[in-house]
Every structure is written in structure tokens, then in C-alpha cells.
Homo-oligomer: A and B are copies of this chain.
């Protein structure tokens, strides 16, 4: 008979410098502290987070297996080897929930293929927190990740999203690397309809959090302060 396999716990972290107690449930913190083996996107940030919440094991005893954007399918068997040997592991990304907008899904998919149990922990998701605080349709929505870098492609994508909102009422969620926030915002101001509603959700879960929904013509009068701050952008129809 095969030995009992370990469980892969999906370990959420804070979005930037917020207090873990404010965004991570006590039960999830307890699980995170108990583990010794982690599949991590970045060892340094994972160690910093685990040090902040405190661990049951000395920090030097923790073991990290790196899964980042350079990782390939061929690296995965080595990452999940402890799980196959019966050891529980944590999957931890640079910020927020793992396996969403990061390469963690590769480990999760391998777990399903190997009948290893996967348990997701509740934690902050800027996509969902932005959505519920936007006042937009929460019954149908799409997340698009980063918009194209190329200007022509980005404007084309914005037109597609605006049409989708108009046609279906479904909320469209997207983001940009912080240093390009201003440029994306300008594109929306210059190319979207004056009546199109945009929610800008900045510094979600941080002390400096600001979440505001306006039409394009209102935003033009009151532009947001988003330069280099983490932002989620939403286009939709107010309920």
C-alpha cells in the first residue's frame, strides 16, 4: 500500500505592509506556523513573511523549494517530492493568495495529477476586495491580469472591455505594474466614453487604502493619486 501523502496548503500573505492579524485568519496563521517545507515564489519575501507571523520551527530549519516564472514543468516533480513522501507543504507567493497571477498553479496542478490534497487558505485577494467595494455587478465578472504593454494593443483591449461591459453588464477587472498606472489611467481618460464607470482601488487592505468609483468625466475632474501604488482597475455598471 502507498504511504499516506502530505497536503499542500495554499498560504496567503499580506498585500504589502499590513498587519497579518488584519487580513489573515488565526487558523490560517496557525497552519502557516506549523509547516516546515514551502514551495515559494521568492525565498526572501517568504522568509520575511514567516518571520513576521512567527513559526513553530527555527527559521533556519525551514526549507524552500523555488517555483517562479522561470520554473518549468520539468522542475515540478522535485518540488512536490516531499508531499509524495507524506510531508505537508505550504505554497506561498510574493503577496496575497498563491496560484493567482503567479506561477503557483503549476504545483497545484501537479498535486491533482498525483492525488495530493490541496487546501486553500482564506486571505486577501485584491481582485475580489476591489470587486465587492466597487459597487459594480458581482454576479458576473472577468479578471484579465495585466493589460498589453504595447499602446495600440492596450487601447484595443480597453475598447473590447468597454464593449463587454455595455453588452453584458459584467464587471471587467485588470491591473498594471505600478509604474505604468498613470499611463493606463490616461489611456482610459482619453479613449473611453465619458459615461463609462471606472473603479480605482489603491493600496487595498493598507492604511492608505482608497477605493473610488466614478464615471470617466468625473475622474477627469478629480484624478486619483496612483503613481507607483498598487492598484486594481475595474470597469462596470453600478448596481
Q: Please give the residue numbers on chain A whose beta carbons come within 8 Å of chain B beta carbons, in ascending order.
A: 10, 19, 21-28, 97-106, 108-113, 118-120, 122-125, 127-145, 170, 199, 204-205, 209, 211-214, 238-239
Contacts and interface: CB of A to CB of B under 8 A. Distances in A.
Contacts of A209: 119
B142 A103 contact: no
A183 to B, nearest CB: 21
A25 B22 contact: yes
6 contacts: A19-B27, A99-B132, A99-B133, A100-B131, A139-B145, A141-B143
Contacts of A128: 97, 100, 125, 127-128
Contact of A120 (B103, B112, B139, B211): B211
Contacts of A100: 128, 131-132, 138-139
B24 A25 contact: yes
- Integer count of this chain's copies in the complex: 2
B135 A112 contact: yes
B132 A140 contact: no
Nearest to A238: B109
Given A21-B26, A112-B134, 15 more contacts: A10-B132, A19-B27, A99-B132, A100-B138, A106-B239, A108-B134, A108-B135, A108-B239, A109-B213, A118-B133, A118-B135, A120-B211, A140-B142, A140-B145, A142-B142
Contacts of A113: 238
Contact of A122 (B23, B130, B199): B23
A94 to B, nearest CB: 14
Given A108-B135, A135-B105, A143 B145 contact: no
Which of A132, A143, A209 neighbours the largest number of chain B CB atoms within 10 Å of its CB?
A: A132
A133 B128 CA distance: 16
B132 A108 contact: yes
A136 B205 contact: no
A112 B119 CA distance: 36
